[in-house]
């Protein structure tokens, strides 16, 4: 019988925006406000929060989707748990991606500028809502799904439900269905003023980021999602990536080394835990990135270059 352990994970560590980093005035070409579908200011607790992206209708609520870039291929990017404002957090990597790809950054309910919903944060609801948001964006029929952290677990359900729409999957140090096997996972919420700033972005972006942090702090969607982590991880264990879906995993070396100290036997190999999900895959690659869990914050150039290589070498359909 496996021993039961309790892990307390701080959202601040989930975000991993290192506490010592500060903002500098780097121009932000990727994040440009677009015309919202509705008057977003009426939904913001802080009237000084500036809209970015567009609000789309999902199950009677509004979900924020940032739509940037004009490439031939589309990437749909879903965030890790507790990521305050994905449309802002991903600024630097979006600047690298958008000259080559169209990118949709989806802010789930309870995140960023999206509404808070009354629906429970089950893996079924989360994936269905993200899919419905994507369907509201004009001209997006086929796309690459890109996920960070816990969204990798939700992606297992997403791929199972909507594989006919996908042309690839990109995992950014994604969680895996069995990574917490035998453990109970809970989270602590840091005070908004203690949330570290986003590195290498303008003061204006970080000012907005802090305001959004206060707006969404400890909302019921984040609390419920945290409470359902074990349930959602367990549900995802039955899924595997299909053989014909190209899959790339970008894994942080800090995570690879950290997993070696995991107290449960069989959960020590971070690379194998990912490749086990693609045993039947015709095209899978693993890129080990010398960085931490939030590798898109400072390894964006390296990731983008390797992403180009991965996509360029996908097998052609016969």
27-77 pLDDT, tens per residue?
233 333 333 333 343 344 456 899 999 999 999 999 999 999 989 999 999
What's the rounded Cα separation, in Å, for the pair 143 and 127?
15
What's the rounded Cα separation, in Å, for the pair 34 and 142?
23
Q: Which tokens sit at 243?
A: 């053989």
**pLDDT at residue number 220:** 97
> If DSSP codes are grouped into helix, strand and coil, which group holds residue 205?
helix
Residue 36 CA: distances (Å) to CA of 119, 237, 256 = 24, 38, 41
What's the rounded Cα separation, in Å, for the pair 194 and 174?
25
91-132 pLDDT, tens per residue?
999 999 999 999 999 999 999 999 999 999 999 999 999 999
pTM confidence score: 0.87
DSSP letters for 234-260? HHHTT----TTS-EEEEEEHHHHHHHT
CA dihedral 105, 202, 70, 292 (to 10 degrees): -50
* Strand partners for 105: 66, 77
């Amino acid at each position: 019988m496996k021993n039961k352990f309790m892990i307390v994970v701080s959202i601040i560590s989930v975000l991993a925006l290192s506490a010592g980093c500060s903002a500098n005035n780097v121009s932000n070409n990727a994040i440009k406000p677009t015309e919202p579908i509705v008057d977003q200011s009426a939904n913001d607790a802080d009237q000084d929060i500036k809209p970015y992206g567009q609000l789309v209708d999902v199950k009677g609520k509004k979900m924020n989707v940032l739509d940037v870039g004009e490439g031939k291929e589309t990437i749909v990017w879903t965030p890790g748990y507790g990521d305050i404002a994905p449309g802002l957090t991903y600024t630097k990597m979006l600047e690298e991606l958008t000259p080559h790809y169209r990118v949709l950054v989806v802010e789930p309910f309870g995140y960023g500028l999206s509404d808070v919903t009354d629906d429970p944060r089950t893996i079924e609801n989360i994936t269905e809502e993200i899919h419905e948001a994507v369907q509201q964006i004009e001209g997006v029929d086929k796309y690459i799904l890109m996920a960070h952290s816990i969204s990798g677990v939700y992606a297992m359900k997403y791929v199972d439900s909507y594989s006919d729409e996908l042309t690839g999957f990109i995992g950014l140090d994604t969680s895996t269905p069995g990574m917490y096997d035998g453990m109970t996972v809970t989270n602590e919420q840091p005070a908004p003023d203690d949330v570290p700033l986003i590195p290498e972005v303008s003061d204006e972006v970080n000012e907005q980021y802090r305001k959004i942090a206060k707006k969404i702090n400890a909302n019921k969607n984040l609390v419920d999602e945290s409470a359902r982590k074990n349930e959602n991880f367990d549900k995802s264990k039955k899924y595997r990536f299909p053989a014909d879906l190209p899959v790339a995993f970008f894994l942080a070396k800090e995570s690879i080394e950290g997993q070696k100290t995991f107290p449960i036997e069989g959960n020590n190999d971070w690379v194998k835990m990912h490749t086990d999900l693609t045993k039947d895959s015709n095209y899978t690659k693993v890129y080990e990135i010398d960085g931490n869990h939030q590798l898109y914050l400072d390894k964006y150039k390296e990731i983008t270059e390797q992403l180009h290589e991965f996509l360029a070498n996908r097998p052609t359909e016969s």
